[in-house]
Amino acid sequence: MIPSLLGNGLMVLLIHQDPRLHTPMYFLLSHLSRMDTVLISTIVPKMVSAYLTGRKSISPVGCGLQIFFQTTGGAECFLLAAMSCDRYVAVCHPLRYATLMSWPLCLRMALESWLLGAADGVMQAAVFLSFPFCNGHEIDHFFCEAPTLVRLACSDTSAFEYVMYICCVLMLLIPLSLILTSSGLLLTAVLQMHSTEARKKASATCISHLSVGVLYYGAAIVIYMRPKSCRLAKHGKVVSAFYTIFTPMMNPVIYSMRNREVKGAWGSV
């Protein structure tokens, strides 16, 4: 938890303080770091507390809050797609970049990502708090997550599962398709560049965004879009830990290690 909070916090501070990073790309990246901070702060403190104290219970309200803030991390789905579009415009349409990626548009994309993620969180938390849960059932997980809680409900959850699946298509598959399409077009443009330096810079940026997208979307799709019959608790815990704990920790490393501007800003601190 500490490395993730430290890395994302420093990334936000660095982007805010260094004028060289006051661009649409880093503005969106700072919001990604904020989302990662919210995501990991929602899960790890309760998990550590349960481990240290031995008290492994959680109230319905606490579970609802975990669902809300954890699902707010779904805002990353939309933000990562916005960041991918930003990189496509920067590489393929550099002369029109300032016009196409204006500051009002970037602010709107960030705000809409937060709002869409929050709306999904409110919906899931409200629905789960309305479900009757059988006494004596334990959550076989280290935090409250929709696919795990569905199995504990004592009522018919098929309608909710169908709606959740549709939401997953909208929040996962559509943004992922946009990321893959823009990355493909970007890579095609990179291969046509004559400048070796420009090709290296564009390739590094593309690889960074594609790596983050594959890590996050891949794990989320495995958790939320697998058939119910294929959901094994042990595997679910591992994959959930990957996208809720390890991915937020790796994001600052991926962007700082493969980005010359960020490394330059670190060097001037």
Identify the CATH number of the domain defined by range 1-267: 1.20.1070.10
68 phi and psi angles, rounded to 5 deg:
-60, -55
* 230 pLDDT above the threshold of 70: no
pLDDT band at 27 (very low <50, low <70, confident <90, very high): very high
The pLDDT tens digits of the residues spanning 133-146 come to: 776 567 777 778 77
Instruction: Yes or no: say if 131 and 159 are a contact pair by the CB < 8 Å rule.
Output: no
pLDDT band at 6 (very low <50, low <70, confident <90, very high): confident
Per-domain residue ranges of the chain: 1-267
Q: What is the pLDDT at residue 258?
A: 58
Instruction: Yes or no: say if 45 and 66 are a contact pair by the CB < 8 Å rule.
Output: no
* 21 pLDDT above the threshold of 90: no
What average pLDDT does the chain have? 79
pLDDT band at 187 (very low <50, low <70, confident <90, very high): confident
Q: How many CB atoms lie within 10 A of CB 101?
A: 22
The pLDDT tens digits of the residues spanning 41-54 come to: 888 787 777 777 77
Is 166 or 196 the better-scoring residue by pLDDT?
166
* 5 pLDDT above the threshold of 60: yes
Considering 81-85, 106-110, 195-199, 202-206, the range whose residues carry the highest mean pLDDT is: 106-110
* 224 pLDDT above the threshold of 80: no
Work out the average pLDDT over 167-195. 82
The pLDDT tens digits of the residues spanning 107-140 come to: 999 999 999 888 888 888 888 878 877 765 677 7
Share of the chain above pLDDT 90, in %: 7
pTM surpassing 0.75?
yes
Share of the chain above pLDDT 70, in %: 84
Work out the average pLDDT over 242-249. 77
The pLDDT tens digits of the residues spanning 199-217 come to: 676 676 677 777 777 777 7
* 231 pLDDT above the threshold of 70: no
